[in-house]
């Protein structure tokens, strides 16, 4: 959640800061602000509750000049979304400006101590506690600690002393009124990236603000602090002292963060799915061995063959992908799978006997609950794999091995292309583990054939866009939806319902279709559409019977079916036909019209499709 940007160099900082905050809007926020320091030592602070557009309007009336600055979009955790609580926050008499992602768990105790020391608080935020604490430590280091020409050692020591007193997670950036040309950034559990330019450096929560500014980046590691000046970058580790940082190439191009011909990022990302699925599979199919291959598992085949159980942990859409993976793994690899909400697993102590392998599945690689669950499983000595989309993310760094989704930046808050990429990777893993065990060469080739046809099948599902729009116009006024599927498409029903509720604010629920008669059937009426996901397969007749139960009670039915299905067309009120694929790939194809349905209904209801209320893209708080 939230977005940090920073700049130090020869240009005007505010221009980069505002542009960067626009690019970080997808992370979720309810207030925004910037602080800059000009050449006369004057600190300019402009902030507001609301959107970056409102911040931009204020800056047009009261510019914030200066060649260095920091900015932030805040998602409220401590204190309401007000101008006073908007970032950045100042410490002491304005000697230090701070922006911060994460949650400081001991902020209340620190606030009381600082109040006793005479500090005056202007907000309810935990970020202001950091600002005053840094000021307090600077004063304790001597009156000129923030001016000492000693290579920044005194400044770094004072900041490190303050950060050591914080409990919780943070990504933090700060600048000092009496030390122009120096930014300090630090990370504990919340990502920060430094962009390396010529005579300038940039800071950001993720890579999107850096696209078009620089192609060279440095991922700050856990417990690292960076001293950033126009011409230099120094990185200090909490325990190891100064460390050599590695400059990497930024793998994102400008086309991936621009809308192009689309009205919204969500629609753009839905239509990118054929290409992102191709990217997932590129170089990972081995026809000679009739299997998949992955370069980052970091476990030998004999070690992987010894695995006798999978534990998959995730949140939200990634949890639905894990449920799809459960069906895929058990069908192709014949290995038992447990799927756990990460928010529950992190506080449980499940008995895992034998040789389990833990999968942490996440788009951002920073999801707080998933990261905590991963760390708990590592503490217990289990092997872990991370499936994530963001290179250099915390989960990618802390897993024993992992697989990148290669989906490119996903900017819309409601995940679409990451879900289908996750399901594709899991299908490939199921093939890989199946071939390690019982799956024959010919059977492996048949799976590969289906996988290689998948991008075209998803492209075929995208052809339903116009039909789905017409259906959305028919039902956009409804306040409740039911989504129903069985076997592989039960998780599809859950994901379709989530897409509807998170962007249109309509109450929607997903169920196994046969469970309708065990309670949810009471919800069926003429104003509650039921969306059945029912492509041809082993349980098609059973789902058809469930559909008839809804129709018998006057409920309207939308059916997502395989092409050429005349039986469902004769029963349902509205039908969407998708290409026919094997059941282990059906969720990847069938979810596409459900994504489009949520999108079009939200548009018709006047909702902000890319930035739904109360939500954030990267959930870095518990």
User: Domain boundaries in the chain?
Assistant: 3-256, 259-462, 463-622
pLDDT-wise least confident of 277-286, 352-361, 434-443: 352-361
pLDDT of residue 324: 97
DSSP 413-451: SS-SHHHHHHHHHHHHHHHHHHHHTT--HHHHHHHHHHH
Scanning 297-339, the segments in alpha helix (DSSP H) are 301-305, 316-332
Q: Is pLDDT larger for residue 407 or for residue 255?
A: 407
pLDDT of residue 1: 55
pLDDT of residue 102: 84
pLDDT band at residue 289, thresholds of 50, 70 and 90? very high
Smallest Cα–Cα separation from 617: which of 364, 328, 329, 304? Answer: 364
Please report which helix (H) or strand (E) contains residue 61, including its range: helix 52-61
- Is 378 a catalytic site residue? no
Q: Which of 47, 268, 611, 617 is catalytic?
A: 617
Q: 3-256: which CATH architecture?
A: 4-Layer Sandwich (3.60)
Smallest Cα–Cα separation from 97: which of 123, 64, 126, 135? Answer: 135
**Hey, which bits of 61-95 come out as E strands?**
68-74, 89-91
CATH number of 259-462: 3.40.50.10490
pLDDT tens per residue, range 605-617:
999 998 888 876 6
* Contact call for residues 400 and 301 (beta carbons, < 8 A): no
Scanning 552-585, the segments in alpha helix (DSSP H) are 566-571
Beta bridge partners of 309: 356
Q: Which of 2, 137, 423, 607 is catalytic?
A: 2
Handedness of CA 126, 129, 134, 135 (dihedral sign): positive
pLDDT of residue 29: 82
The whole-angstrom distance between residue 612's C-alpha and the CA centroid of its chain comes to: 14
> Count H helices, E strands: the chain?
19, 27
Within this chain, domains 3-256 and 259-462 share the same CATH topology:
no
pLDDT of residue 253: 66
Query: Tokens 């956009």 belong to which residue?
Result: 476
483/452 Cα distance (integer angstroms): 29
- Is 2 a catalytic site residue? yes
pLDDT of residue 616: 67
* Contact call for residues 24 and 209 (beta carbons, < 8 A): yes
Judge whether residue 20 has pLDDT over 80.
yes
pLDDT tens per residue, range 96-142:
999 998 889 899 999 999 999 999 999 999 999 999 999 999 988 76
pLDDT of residue 515: 84
pLDDT tens per residue, range 371-381:
999 999 999 98
Mean pLDDT of 75-91: 89
Query: To the nearest whole percent, how much of the chain has pLDDT over 70?
Result: 96
pLDDT of residue 383: 92
Judge whether residue 149 has pLDDT over 60.
no
pLDDT of residue 136: 94
pLDDT of residue 226: 94
Six token digits for residue 61: 């009336």
Q: Is pLDDT larger for residue 523 or for residue 96?
A: 96
Contacts of 552 (CB under 8 A, 6+ apart): none
Q: 463-622: which CATH architecture?
A: 3-Layer(aba) Sandwich (3.40)
Look over the chain and give the mean of its residue pLDDT values, rounded to a whole number. 91
Count of CB atoms situated within 10 Å of the CB of 214: 16
Mean pLDDT of 153-179: 92
138/25 Cα distance (integer angstroms): 33
Q: Beta 216-219 vs 248-249: how paired, if at all?
A: antiparallel
pLDDT tens per residue, range 452-497:
999 999 999 999 999 999 999 999 999 999 999 999 999 999 999 9
């Amino acid at each position: 959640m939230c977005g940090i940007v920073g700049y130090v160099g020869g240009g005007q900082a505010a221009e980069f800061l505002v542009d960067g905050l626009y690019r970080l809007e997808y992370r979720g926020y309810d207030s925004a602000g910037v602080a800059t320091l000009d050449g006369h030592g004057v600190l300019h602070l402009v902030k507001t509750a609301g959107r970056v557009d409102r911040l931009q309007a204020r800056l047009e009336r009261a510019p914030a000049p200066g060649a260095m600055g920091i900015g932030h979009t805040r998602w409220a955790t401590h204190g309401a979304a007000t101008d006073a609580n908007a970032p950045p926050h100042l410490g002491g008499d304005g000697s230090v400006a701070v922006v911060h992602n994460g949650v400081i768990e001991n902020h209340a105790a620190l606030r009381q101590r600082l109040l006793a020391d005479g500090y005056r608080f202007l907000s309810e935020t935990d970020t202001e506690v950091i600002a005053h604490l840094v000021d307090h430590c600077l004063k304790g280091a001597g009156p000129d600690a923030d001016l000492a020409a000693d290579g920044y050692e005194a400044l770094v020591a004072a900041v490190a002393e303050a950060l050591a007193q914080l409990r919780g997670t943070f990504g933090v950036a700060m600048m000092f009124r009496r030390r122009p040309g120096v930014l300090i950034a630090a990370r504990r559990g919340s990502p920060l990236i430094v962009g390396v330019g010529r005579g300038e450096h940039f800071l950001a929560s993720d890579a999107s603000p850096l696209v078009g500014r620089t192609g060279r980046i440095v991922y700050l590691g856990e417990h690292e602090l960076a001293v950033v000046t126009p011409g230099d970058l120094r990185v200090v580790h909490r325990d190891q002292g100064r460390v050599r940082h590695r400059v990497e190439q930024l793998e994102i191009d400008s086309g991936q963060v621009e809308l192009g011909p689309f009205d919204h990022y969500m629609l753009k990302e839905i239509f990118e799915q054929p290409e992102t699925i191709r990217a997932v599979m590129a170089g990972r199919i081995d026809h000679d061995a009739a299997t998949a291959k992955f370069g980052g598992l970091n476990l030998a085949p004999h070690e992987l063959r010894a695995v006798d159980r999978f534990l998959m942990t995730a949140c939200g859409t990634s949890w639905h992908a894990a449920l799809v993976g459960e069906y895929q793994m058990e069908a192709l690899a014949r290995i038992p799978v447990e799927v756990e909400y990460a928010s529950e697993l992190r506080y449980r102590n499940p008995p895992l006997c034998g040789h389990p392998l833990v999968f942490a599945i996440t788009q951002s690689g920073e999801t707080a609950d998933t990261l905590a669950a991963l760390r708990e499983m590592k503490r217990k000595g289990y092997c872990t794999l991370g499936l994530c989309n963001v290179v250099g993310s915390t989960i990618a760094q802390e897993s024993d091995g992992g697989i990148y989704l290669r989906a490119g930046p996903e900017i819309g808050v409601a995940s679409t292309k990451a879900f289908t990429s996750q399901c594709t990777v899991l299908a490939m893993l199921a093939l890989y583990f199946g071939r390690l065990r019982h799956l024959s060469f010919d059977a492996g080739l048949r799976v590969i054939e289906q996988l290689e046809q998948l991008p075209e099948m998803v492209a075929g599902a995208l052809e339903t866009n116009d039909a789905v729009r017409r259906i959305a116009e028919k039902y956009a006024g409804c306040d409740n939806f039911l989504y129903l599927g069985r076997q592989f498409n039960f998780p599809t029903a859950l994901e379709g319902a989530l897409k509807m509720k998170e962007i249109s604010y309509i109450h929607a629920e997903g169920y196994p279709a046969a469970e309708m008669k065990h309670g949810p059937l009471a919800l069926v009426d003429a104003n509650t559409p039921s969306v059945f996901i029912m492509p041809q397969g082993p349980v098609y007749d059973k789902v058809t019977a469930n559909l008839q139960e809804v129709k018998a009670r006057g409920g309207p039915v939308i059916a997502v079916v395989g092409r050429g299905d005349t039986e469902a067309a004769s029963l349902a009120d509205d039908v969407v036909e998708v290409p026919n694929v094997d059941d282990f790939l059906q969720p990847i194809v069938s979810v596409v019209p459900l994504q489009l349905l949520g999108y079009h209904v939200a548009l018709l209801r006047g909702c902000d499709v890319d930035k739904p209320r109360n939500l954030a893209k990267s959930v870095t708080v518990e």
